[in-house]
Amino acid sequence: SSTVVWFRRDLRTADHPALLAAAERASRALALFVLDPVLLRASGGPRVEFLHRCLRSLDADLGGRLVVVEGDPVEVVPRVAAEVGATSVHVSADAGPYGRARDAAVAERVELVRAGSPYAVTPGRVTKPDGTPYRVFTPFCRAWLEHGWHSPARTDASTVDWIRSDLGRDLPAGDGLPDVRALWEAFRDEKLPDYATRRDRPDLDATSRFSPFLKWGVVHPRTLLADLGRGAGAQAFRTELAWRDFYADVLWHQPESARRNFNRAFDRMPVDDDRERFEAWCAGRTGYPFVDAGMRQLLAEGWMHNRVRMVVASFLVKDLHLPWWWGARHFMRHLVDGDLASNQHGWQWAAGTGTDAAPYFRVFNPVTQGEKFDPAGDYVRRYVPELRDVPGKAVHQPRDPIVDHAQERREALARYAAVKG
Ligand code: FAD
C-alpha cells in the first residue's frame, strides 16, 4: 500500500512524527512538496531562494526522491495521491488561517492524517484551567512549561520507503543548506552560555539565527529544547521558543488577529497614509541611523536582529503614524523567517495593540536605543556605508531626519491617549 507525505513547514526527516504515522499506515510513501503560487506571490527573492535551499537539502536527504509540483495544493495533492494509488496523505498540522482553510479543502478530497505540528506544544493545547486561551505571555509560559512536550521522535530518511517518481519538476540548480546540526552545536557551546546577557546586542552576533530553520521546520523546536541543558542562557532561549509557541496559539484562537488589531479599542485610532514616508522607511532612508541600518539589513540579508525589529517597528507606528500592517507586510515579503504568527504579533506588540501590549506610552527613542544596544556604532557602520567614517557612537546622531522624534512622540502620545480616553 502507498501513501503520501506532504511536506510544508517541516522540511526535515529527523524528529518528524508524520513520517512515523506514514510508515505505520503504508509500506511505501511519496514525498511531496507543492509550490503554491499564492504563497510564492507574497514572498520576496531571498525567501524563495531560502525555500529552494531547504528543498534541495531535503531532496538530498531523501536520496533524490522529493517530488516538487507547482500549483494549487487543493488540486495537486489529491491528484498526485491518486496517481500513486494512495488513499491517504500525511502532514504536520498547520495552525495558520490560510493553511487551515487549505487543509480543510484538501481533506474533502483525500484522507488527511495530521501528526505533530511546527511547535513544541500544538497550538490550542495550553489553556487556562477554565479552558479559555491565555492572552498574556507570562502565565502562558508557565502553563506551557507545566504542560511539557514529547521528546523528539526517532526518525530519519530511512523511516519510510520512498517511492521514486517523475511526477515533479526540477528545482533550479543551487546550494543546499549548511550543516544545521553543526551550526546548532556551535551556538550551543559557544554562544548559549552568554545568550541571556548578549542577545539584545545587534553588533555582537550573539543569537542563534535559527529563525529561518524553525520557520521552515528544518529543525523542530523540540529537538532544540531537548538539547538546551541548564543555566541562564538555556532558560532565556527556552523563553524565546515559548514566545514562538504563544503567538502561534494566539493566532490559532484568533485567526483574524493577523489582519486587525488584537485589542479592538485601537480601531478608533487615526493613522496616516503617507506613502513617501513609508518608502523612506522601507529603503532605510529615514535619517535615523539605527533604523536605517535595520531596514537595510533586512533588504540585504532577509533577516534583522530582534532589538532592531522592535525599534524600526516602533518608528513606523509611533514616529511615522503609519498602520502596523504596512510594516508587517513589508517584513513578510523580505524576511526569510517571515512567519505570520510571530510577525503580526511582534508588530502588534510594538504598536501597543497586541496581547501583552507594550504600554502604548512607551515610545522607543531610535537614538538612545542605538547608543545603548550598539554602543560602539559597529552595527550601523556595517549596514550604512555612507556613515563608515563616523567614529564611535556619534554614528547614531540623526542626519537629515524625515521627522523630528520629540515632536512625533508627542503626537503619538496624544493619539493613543485619545483612544485610551
Ligand atoms: P534567537 O534569539 O536565537 O531566538 C531563538 C528562537 O526563538 C528564534 O529563532 C525564534 O524562533 C524564537 N523567537 C525569538 N524571539 C521571538 C519573539 N519575539 N517572538 C517569537 N519568536 C521568537 N520571528 C520570526 O521567526 N518570524 C517573524 O516573521 C518575526 N517577525 C517579527 C517582527 C517584529 C516586529 C518583531 C519585534 C519580532 C519578530 N520576530 C519574528 C521575532 C524575533 O525578532 C525573531 O524570531 C528573532 O530575531 C530571530 O533571530 P534568532 O533566530 O537569532 O533568535
Residue 27 annotated as binding?
A: no
Report yes or no: 345 and 126 within 8 Å, Cβ to Cβ.
no
| Cell output for 370 | 542605538
How far CA 138 is from CA of 3, 20, 382, 387, in Å, comes to: 42, 34, 35, 40
What is the C-alpha separation between 233 and 207, in angstroms, rounded?
11
Residue 369: how many other CB atoms lie within 10 Å = 20
Was 208 annotated as part of a binding site?
Answer: yes
- Residue 358 above 70 pLDDT? no
Mean pLDDT computed over 26-53:
94
Beta-bridge partner residues of 33 = 7, 68
- What pLDDT does 356 receive? 75
User: What is the C-alpha to C-alpha distance for residues 234 and 126, in angstroms, rounded to an integer?
Assistant: 22
Average pLDDT of every residue of the chain: 96
Taking residue 229's Cβ as centre, other Cβ atoms within 10 Å add up to: 10
Label residue 418 by pLDDT band (50, 70, 90): confident
Give the closest residue (by CA) to ligand 1 atom 42: 306
φ, ψ for residue 166, nearest 5 deg:
-110, 30
In the numeric block, which cell numbers belong to residue 57? 537539502
- Angle at alpha carbon of residue 201, lines to 392 and 282, rounded to 5°: 85
CATH superfamily of 2-117: HUPs (3.40.50.620)
> From CA 374, how far away is CA 368, in angstroms rounded?
10
Distance from C-alpha of 280 to C-alpha of 287, rounded to nearest angstrom:
9
Ligand 1 contacts (CB < 6 A) are 199, 207-211, 214-215, 237, 240-241, 243-244, 247, 306, 309-310, 313, 331, 335, 337-339, 342-343, 346-347, 350
What ipTM does this complex have? 0.99
Using the predicted structure, report yes or no on whether residue 359 has a pLDDT greater than 90. no
Q: At how many degrees (to 10) do helices 289-301 and 275-283 cross? A: 70
Q: What is the largest CA-CA distance in the chain?
A: 69
The string over 260-283, giving b where at least 16 C-beta atoms fall within 10 Å of a residue's C-beta and e elsewhere, is ebbbeebeebebeeeeebbebbbe
Q: Flag whether the pTM goes above 0.80.
A: yes
Q: Is the separation of the CB atoms in 295 and 281 below 8 Å?
A: yes
Task: Please list the helix, strand and coil fractions of the chain in percent, rounded to the nearest 5, in that order.
Answer: 55, 5, 40
pLDDT digit string, tens, across residues 248-286: 999 999 999 999 999 998 999 999 999 999 999 999 999
The domain made up of 180-253 has a fold known as 1.25.40
Q: Does domain 264-420 sit in CATH 1.10.579.10?
A: yes
Edge-to-edge strands, sheet with 28-35: 66-70, 28-35, 2-7, 86-91, 111-114
The DSSP call for residue 133 is: P
Tens digits of residue pLDDT in 157-192:
999 999 999 999 888 899 999 999 999 999 999 999
Residues β-bridged to residue 34: 69
pLDDT the model gives residue 341: 97
Q: What are phi and psi of 131, to 5 degrees?
A: 90, -5
Q: What would the pLDDT profile of 389-412 be if each residue is shown by its tens digit?
A: 999 999 999 999 999 999 999 999
Number of C-alpha atoms within 13 angstroms, CB side, residue 84?
A: 29
* Phi (first) and psi of residue 162, to 5 degrees: -85, 135
Round to whole Å and give the CA distance between 201 and 315. 19
Q: Where are the domains of the chain?
A: 2-117, 180-253, 264-420
CA-proximal residue: ligand 1, atom 20 (nearest): 244
Residue having the nearest C-alpha atom to atom 3 of ligand 1: 208
**How large a percentage of the chain has pLDDT more than 70?**
99
Q: What was the pLDDT predicted at 43?
A: 85
With cut-offs at 50, 70 and 90, classify the pLDDT of residue 357.
Answer: low
Give 53's contacts (C-beta < 8 A, 6+ positions apart).
Answer: 174, 175, 176, 177
Distance 248 CA to ligand 1 centre (A): 12
Residue 339 marked as a ligand binder: yes
Nearest CA to ligand 1 atom 50: 209
Tens-place pLDDT, residues 103-156: 999 999 999 999 999 999 999 999 999 999 999 999 999 999 999 999 999 999
User: Which amino acid does the sequence have at 208?
Assistant: S
pLDDT of residue 44: 84
Residues 6+ apart with CB under 8 A from 64: none
Note whether 15 and 152 are within 8 A (CB). Answer: yes
Domain 180-253 and domain 264-420, same fold? Reply is no
